[in-house]
Chains A and B, each alone.
Chain A
Amino acid sequence: MTAPPESATLGIAWRARLTSIATPAGLALVMFAGVLLAFGKNPIKAYVDIFGSTLGSAYGFSETLVKMTPLVLTAVAVAIPAKIWLINVGGEGQLYIGAIFATWGALTFGHLPAWLLLPLMVALGFLGGGLWGLVAGLLRARGWVSETISTLLMNYVAILSLNYVVFGPWKDPEGVNYPQTAEFAPSAILPVLGQSRVHLGLALGLLAVGLFAFFASRTRWGLEMRAIGGNADAARRNGLPVGRYVIGLMFIGGGLAGLAGMCEVSAIQGRLRPSLSPGYGYTGFLISWMASGHPLGILGAAFLLAVVTAGGDILQMTQAIPGSVVNILMAVILFVILGRRPGER
């Protein structure tokens, strides 16, 4: 049996969901326009550039999808633990560790054919990020350290770990002293769509969102997660293994962020280097909160922020302002989201 009222109210819920994303986004755009004016730039022109360049051409659109891929994965990485009110701020670090694990696979088993090597790298990427999340989960389940603190601090450890391997043991001997690994074998590169840079990782991201939606709403484990999220004390009294959920969901969340790291090194960079992520993990956190953890909302918000991220590069070229000003825009969006009605997830 499916729950009938759910489908009956779906239309209204959808509209509410859309407004809950569109309103803060619109407000943020207005506030950011003020920032642009302060720079002496024409905000309308800037927005035309951002949206025109990303949505106005097939190439721009494909680049937006490229940016969207890791964002979807890191957003689900936050949304899954958030089902039981765990706050995973460690998407960035989990992404880095996933990338390191996947790189190890690519460098060690480069001779393997793609059909064997890519699944292996996917598994390694997931495992790496997952273990990074698992540590925070264990600490939390034992009641020792809040996962918010541990995941945040572990981000720095992860980033420095990556620096260590690319500056040290894995440095490309032919790389004229660049801090990066050797280029991956072709069999370690995720297949792309046509001439674009859109790669298989997008399908993985969509699959992750789909599975998340299915598991959260239809399955026994989804029900148990919602119960723990709704009332952990009652869930414990009902015999639900709350601690195991804390550890397990942190592992799965971390794993998905690790998968984003694997996709980036394999499909975009083709090797491991320090400039792996312009903060995808943090942006994923923002997306998950914008969407209140709702699967379709995550896709919408991820697309929107992908436009913003891609648009930053364009602004740099057309408006001669640093591309990183879009970080201001993201900060403003976060600010507006946090200022939303209290009590709303």
Chain B
Amino acid sequence: MDTAPLLSVRGITKAFPGVVANDTVSFDAYGGEIHALVGENGAGKSTLMKILYGFYRPDAGEIRIAGRPVQIRSPHDARDLRIGMVFQDFAQIPALSVADNVALFQANLPPVPDMPAIARRIEALSQRYGLEVDPRAPVWRLSVGERQKVEVVKLLLADARILIFDEPTRGLAPQEVAGLFRVFADLRRDGYAVIFITHKLAEVLGGADRISVMRRGRIAGTLPRSDATEETLVSLMFGGPVAEAPPSRRAATGPTRPPLLELRHVSTRADGRAVGLRDLDLTVAPGEIVGVAGVAGNGQRELGDLVLGLTRCVRGVKLLGGADATNWPVGRVRAGGVAFIPEDALTMAGAAHLTVLENMALGDTRRYARHGGLAIDWESARTDLARSLARLGVAVPALQAPLGRLSGGTIQRVILARELARHPTLIVAFYPTRGLDVRSALATRDLLVASRDEGVGILLISEDLGELFALSDRLVVLFRGRLAGSRVPADTTIEEIGYLMNGGSECHDRSA
């Protein structure tokens, strides 16, 4: 590690109306260092990174690069200062090839770019860092993990020295996560400064050299990895210890009640680039959590959409509570007691411009309609939302504020509260804790377990294997739209599931 920091942030303050997102933040990153930035949702991590990349101007404070004070007014400035950022949703053009995408990002691209030379440089970098990126492959054909590596190549070719990753492990399989950290280690060897944001403490402890914890806009502490434990990090994040996740109270396997959801030999059409489900058999019984594991893009979204009625089966039968629901529209499925907890509440379940209360009423417009729909009973909607939020142990947010104005965690909880207020019998939970901080994730998991214990059936689609193992009564693995295996968590290991997720062939019990 170099002695002088490559990037030095001193006393950065940034306030938005009503909230101080960064409060005199000081932070150093050295060349040849992997630095993790952790903290609760809304702790100010994203704001700090956006300041470093020139999206926001700080109200006060100083940024130094290699000891020299700099002004970062735009992402363009940041790139000139050799700062690169990998966003969660990669800025890539799917129809173009990897080389085209990389070339587009280069500063001072000549009018007639020398594409073969760019392809050669991509291959050389790919070799050096074990990225396995094919410059000729069209981006749409790549997996999330591969697209992330394309981003890394892009930044390296653009000569970045400080690489910032915003939740880089989101959507990656365990093996891919390990691969990413190997890339990080190679970058460290070559003197790059790697900064990554995450919620997952295990990754921090596994892959980072130093760890900075943010809480309420401030740096609560910076630790070398050798001094950090999960407990110290959690108490820095929350200013005190947080209750452990409840042990899964596995529902008694009582008398066999009819399943809430039954899929028999279901196939769906593979739409464009999406994966189609193929010959899938799946049941969810009352009081049971069925976990669905798989690398992102292997049919999870299609499975959720199928249960909800958004996607139709081309073959097979879907039963809900014993009734043939194969061709039910979404409205009827929901009216039949199916709730949906989305991975991204704002794009999948709510409307940003509508108020919190309007979004609540939207969950069941028929229920809150009065005078045949000529009026809406806002009072009932308000009461139901408040009651449901109280069950979640969450304070009621400003009901007349547009949903999009709230923080990500709050939006997720509002939608969660809305869905639970409908007293569902079957919950389709789609990456329900993705992007949530430790405390919000715990609250969400508690709620799923409590619902399960009340007899609700839950289909839990998640990428967090720890979560799946802790909560699931049964665990199934999706690979390329097929059921690659079905296990009871107690009788299997994370390694075996990870193997199945990547198409391991030892699926003895695959229903065919």
Give me the interface of A with B, judged by CB distance under 8 Å: 1, 3-5, 218-221, 223-224, 226-227, 230-231, 233-241
Contact = CB atoms under 8 A, between A and B. Distances in A.
A236 B310 contact: yes
B334 A239 contact: yes
Given A224-B362, A234-B350, A237-B308, 5 more contacts: A223-B361, A226-B354, A227-B362, A230-B354, A236-B310
A49 B330 CA distance: 59
A230 B331 contact: no
Secondary structure dominating the interface of B: helix
Nearest to B361: A223
Interface stretch (B158-166, B235-243, B367-375, B432-440): B367-375
A219 B373 contact: yes
27 contacts: A1-B378, A1-B379, A1-B382, A5-B400, A219-B369, A219-B373, A219-B374, A223-B354, A223-B358, A223-B362, A223-B376, A226-B358, A227-B351, A227-B354, A230-B353, A230-B354, A231-B347, A231-B352, A234-B350, A237-B330, A238-B363, A239-B333, A239-B334, A239-B335, A240-B330, A241-B329, A241-B331
Nearest to A214: B374
B310 A231 contact: no
B39 interface: no
Nearest to B340: A237
Interface string B311-350: 0000000000000000001111111000010100001111
B331 A239 contact: yes
B355 interface: yes
Nearest to A226: B354
Secondary structure dominating the interface of A: helix
B422 to A, nearest CB: 11
Given A226-B358, A231-B347, A220 B369 contact: yes
Contacts of B354: 223, 226-227, 230
B167 to A, nearest CB: 22
Interface in B144-160: none
Contacts of B333: 239
A315 B190 CA distance: 77
B362 A233 contact: no
Interface in B68-111: none
A234 B349 contact: yes
B349 A238 contact: yes
B365 A223 contact: yes
Contacts of B374: 218-220
Contacts of A234: 347-351
Nearest to B380: A1
A237 B379 CA distance: 24
Contacts of B368: 220
A238 B334 contact: yes
Contacts of B373: 219-221
B378 A3 contact: yes
Contact of A230 (B308, B352, B378): B352
B419 to A, nearest CB: 10
A220 B378 contact: no
A218 B375 contact: yes
Q: Which of B310, B332, B379 has its CB near the most chain A CB atoms (within 10 A)?
A: B310
B379 A235 contact: no
B400 A4 contact: yes
Contact of A235 (B351, B352, B357): B351
